[in-house]
Amino acid sequence: MEPSEQFCPNSTCCARGQIGQGNIVIHDRKRQRYRCKICQQTFSARRGTMFEGLRTSTELVVIVVTLLAFGCPVQAIVQAYGLDERTVASWRERAGAQCQRVHQAIVEQGQLELIHVQVDEIRVKARSMVAWMGLAMMVSTRLWLGGVVSRTRDTSLADRLLQQVRACSQAACALLVCTDGWAAYVRRVGVYEIPVRHGRGREQEPLGQELTRRGNSMATVACS
């Protein structure tokens, strides 16, 4: 436990959100609780994390969430660790909600000089439905800027995905967006489209084709 890395979560405390001010001390090391010397309120070390309110060991929750992230079936986790399927599903929802909060607090702050972003959609077929997920990636760092899930591949999906990209980008920053040619992106964010020609040989490919997989029809859109 390290009090200097904690801040008071009490919304009425004048020291709320301030780190390293010396107002946070250890209240109960066994129960892992801190105390703010200004408002005198105590709080758990798990406050504000996906582990808040859980009595299960952190190590087990991390293992289960890691297995889920790598595609391990829920039924296999239930059998291996003797957990209830609803418990595993609850941890999965907690992890997703926490990742979204962290992404909004760190990535979606309008501080990134994106320059070049690549967006695409993935079609997923389930037992009784088809879902689409739109993804956006910062090309230079391979940082995922956002993801949107929708039952249909429509302009609403494109709008929501590009809103996440705008939230990450610096204001008035020139941005190059590469897509698979879907017109929804061009209409929403593009100023112009550069068509990609295909032929027998690289001499017929336009400048910038090296950014795409060979043979994949791509449209390059510039926006500001």
The third-level CATH classification (topology) of the domain covering 52-106 is: Arc Repressor Mutant, subunit A (1.10.10)
CB neighbours of 161 closer than 8 A, spacing ≥ 6? 119, 134, 135, 136, 146, 147, 148
pLDDT value of residue 186? 65
> What region does 57 belong to: left with phi over 0, alpha with psi -120 to 50, or beta?
beta
Query: In the numeric block, which tokens belong to residue 58?
Result: 């952190």
Cα 44 to Cα 35: distance, rounded to the nearest angstrom: 9
Beta bridge partners of 149: 133
Structure tokens at 83: 């957990």
Angle at 20 between CA 17 and CA 21, to 5 degrees: 80
Rounded to two decimals, what is the model's pTM?
A: 0.65
Q: From first to last of its 224 residues, what are the pLDDT tens digits of the chain?
A: 677 778 888 778 887 877 877 788 887 777 778 888 888 888 887 787 888 888 888 899 999 999 999 989 999 999 999 999 999 999 999 999 999 888 988 898 888 888 888 888 898 887 888 999 999 999 889 999 989 999 988 888 888 888 888 888 887 777 777 777 777 776 665 544 445 455 555 444 443 433 333 333 344 443 43
Helix (H, G, I), strand (E, B) or coil at 214: coil
Distance CA 137, CA 55 (A): 36
pLDDT of residue 203: 47
Tell me the pLDDT tens digit for each residue of 38-94.
Answer: 888 888 877 878 888 888 888 999 999 999 999 899 999 999 999 999 999 999 999
Q: How far apart are CA 13 and CA 39, in angstroms?
A: 6
Which three-class secondary structure state does DSSP give residue 119? strand
Which residue shows structure tokens 């879907």? 182
How much is the pLDDT for 204?
44
Is 16:60 a contact under the CB 8 Å cutoff? no
How far apart (Å, rounded) are the C-alpha atoms in residues 151 and 134?
A: 11
